[in-house]
């Protein structure tokens, strides 16, 4: 009991020493901003462990210094003091803060929870508060398709890192890539839950486990990536976690996406665009038996039809690529032309006519008249 009291006294003493040191460091940076950069530095704020209270004896001081000009970068400095490394750096309005305001940057909490220490002018604080409120308003919305769209960027980055894990040969490079998979999947899940990490990398798993939307057995999958020892284990663990998050993403995308259906308005011009961008390429390339040309024409047609089905019109999904055979290109051509006929039927169902002209004079009359208004 006596020993615990002694330890607590030491902890309290160390905590006070850290706070005193940080106070002097903060005053030093603010003094420099006022003296040397009165027009260049807009705001200085505190974030990180000293803001959340989750610090230890070797924690550094996380200052966010918002600069108005390139000259403001000169206030930055990186140094070691009392065996602790400090990085005094700047954050421009247009990059990090603007991205955080739309939840397009993992460090959103350094915007939403920033403790303002210095403000050069009232208008800077007003500008900052607008960005902060934008982020808070976005996170206050119900989970929906916007969260899903933000999550996709991080999911795609995780897939890229998994490809790196497969392509790398050295164990260090593979472990690094698997760490990338894990990091981007963390950010994917953060966005799927429409929130932000508040307490840094030390609390990643702890925070994630409080989320509503997580893959089954997430903690086990998460730790298996970290605990993997061999190349095969790293790749297998990364794949298992990646696959589980993909399944969650697909389920949520299906649940929260609008059920698009073809309508007179949303189909406008889409059949004509399919004809313009894909039809002649497919026919020309397959007739010429040009395998490379046909292959990329097939990819373009598939991409367009996928976009119409999932993002714009809710039209039927077509799997054209299953019909591609470099040694029998006519199979693909026939499948594509059949898909075009089926797409045309969507026009018929909603009463839309294909915009086609027999002569240039007919087109001129339509285009220059009231028909295209």
Question: What is the domain-level CATH number for residue 192?
Answer: 1.20.120
How does pLDDT run along the chain (373 residues), one tens digit per residue?
A: 444 444 444 478 777 887 888 888 889 889 999 999 999 999 998 876 666 666 666 666 778 889 999 999 999 888 787 777 777 888 888 888 899 999 988 788 888 888 899 999 999 999 999 999 999 999 999 999 899 999 999 999 999 999 999 999 999 999 999 999 999 999 999 999 999 888 777 788 999 999 999 999 999 999 999 999 999 999 999 999 999 999 999 999 988 877 789 999 999 999 999 999 999 999 999 999 999 999 999 999 999 999 999 888 989 999 999 999 999 999 999 999 999 999 999 999 999 999 999 999 989 988 888 655 4
Q: Is residue 251 situated within a structural domain?
A: yes
User: Contact 139/104 with Cβ under 8 angstroms?
Assistant: no
Q: Could you tell me if residue 166 is inside a domain?
A: yes
Considering 211, 232, 256, which residue would you say is the last residue of a domain? Answer: 256
What's the sign of the alpha-carbon dihedral 308, 309, 313, 316? Answer: positive
Whether residue 123 is found in the same domain as residue 231: no
- pLDDT of 8: 47
Q: How many domains does the chain have?
A: 3
Q: Which residues contact 130 (CB under 8 A, 6 or more apart)?
A: none
Nearest to 30 by CA among 63, 79, 62: 63
Name the pairing type of β-strands 77-81 and 90-92: unpaired
Q: Are both 174 and 192 inside the same structural domain? A: yes
Q: Is residue 287 domain-resident? A: yes
Q: How many CB atoms lie within 10 A of CB 98?
A: 15
| pLDDT value for 76 | 85
Q: Enumerate long-range contacts of 255-260, CB under 8 Å, 24 or more apart.
A: 256/143, 256/144, 256/145, 256/147, 256/148, 257/145, 257/148, 257/310, 258/145, 259/314, 260/310, 260/312, 260/313, 260/314
**Domain contains 299:** yes
Under DSSP, the state recorded for 130 is H
The answer as to whether 373 is a domain residue is no
Q: State residue 55's pLDDT score.
A: 67
pLDDT of residue 78: 80
**Element of type H or E holding 126:** helix 122-140
Same domain, 250 and 276: no
Q: What is the CATH number of the domain that holds 10?
A: 3.30.460.10
User: Which pLDDT score, from 0 to 100, does residue 53 have?
Assistant: 60
The residues near 89 (Cβ < 8 Å, ≥ 6 apart) are 65, 76, 78
30 with 80, same domain? yes
Regarding whether 181 and 167 lie in a shared domain, the answer is yes
- List the Cα angle 307/309/310 in 5-degree steps: 70
Q: How far, in Å, CA of 62 to CA of 266, rounded?
A: 49
pLDDT on residue 106:
79
Q: Are residues 303 and 251 in the same domain?
A: no
Supply the range of the domain harboring residue 24. 2-140
Look at residue 45 and give its three-state secondary structure.
strand
Q: Cα–chain-centroid distance for residue 79?
A: 32
Predicted pLDDT at 9:
45
Question: Is 103 in the same domain as 172?
Answer: no
Domain end residue (candidates: 224, 256, 288): 256
136 and 152 inside one domain:
no
Calpha distance 320→301 (Å, rounded): 8
pLDDT (0 to 100) of residue 182: 97
pTM of the model: 0.81
Say what angle helices 231-256 and 218-227 make with each other, to 10 degrees: 150
Distance CA(19)–CA(13), nearest Å, equals 10
Task: Count CB neighbours of 10 within 10 A.
Answer: 10
Let me know if residue 262 belongs to a domain: no
Q: Is residue 138 a contact partner of residue 196, using CB atoms and an 8 Å limit?
A: no
Residues 252, 161 within the same domain: yes
361 with 249, same domain: the answer is no
Q: Are residue 202 and residue 119 in the same domain, yes or no?
A: no
Task: Give the span between the Cα atoms of 257 and 311, in whole angstroms.
Answer: 9
SS3 66: strand
* Residue 80, token pair as written in the block: 């070691």
Specify whether 180 is located in the same domain as 53: no
């Amino acid at each position: 009991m006596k020993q615990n009291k002694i330890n607590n006294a030491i902890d309290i003493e160390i905590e006070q020493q850290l706070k005193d040191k940080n106070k002097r460091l903060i005053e030093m940076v603010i003094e420099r901003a006022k003296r040397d950069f009165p027009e260049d530095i807009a705001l200085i704020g505190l974030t990180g462990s000293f803001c959340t209270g989750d610090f230890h004896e070797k924690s550094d001081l996380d200052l966010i210094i918002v600069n108005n000009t390139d000259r403001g970068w000169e206030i930055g400095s990186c140094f070691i003091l009392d065996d602790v490394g400090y990085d005094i750096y700047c954050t421009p309005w247009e990059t990090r803060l603007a991205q955080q305001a739309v939840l397009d940057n993992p460090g959103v909490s350094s915007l939403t929870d920033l403790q303002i220490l210095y403000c050069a002018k009232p208008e800077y604080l007003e500008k900052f508060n607008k960005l902060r409120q934008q982020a808070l308003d976005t996170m206050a919305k119900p989970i929906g398709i916007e969260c899903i769209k933000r999550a996709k960027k991080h999911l795609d980055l995780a897939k890229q890192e998994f490809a790196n894990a497969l392509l790398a040969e050295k164990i260090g490079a593979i472990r690094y890539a698997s760490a990338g998979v894990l990091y981007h999947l963390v950010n994917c899940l953060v966005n799927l839950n429409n929130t932000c990490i508040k307490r840094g990398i030390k609390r990643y798993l702890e925070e994630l486990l409080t989320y509503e939307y997580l893959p089954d057995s997430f903690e086990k999958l998460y730790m298996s990536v970290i605990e993997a020892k061999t190349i095969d284990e790293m790749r297998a663990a990364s794949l298992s976690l990646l696959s589980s998050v993909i399944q969650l993403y697909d389920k949520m995308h299906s649940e929260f996406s609008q059920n698009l259906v073809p309508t007179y308005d949303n189909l406008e011009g889409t059949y004509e665009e399919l004809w313009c961008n894909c039809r002649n390429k497919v026919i020309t390339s397959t007739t010429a038996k040009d395998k490379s040309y046909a292959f990329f024409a097939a990819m373009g047609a598939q991409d367009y039809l996928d976009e119409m089905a999932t993002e714009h019109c809710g039209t039927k999904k077509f799997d054209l690529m299953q019909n591609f055979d470099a040694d029998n290109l006519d199979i693909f051509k026939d499948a594509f032309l059949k898909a075009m006929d089926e797409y045309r039927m969507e026009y018929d169902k909603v009463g839309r006519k294909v915009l086609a002209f027999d002569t240039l004079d007919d087109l001129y009359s339509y285009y220059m008249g009231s028909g295209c208004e």
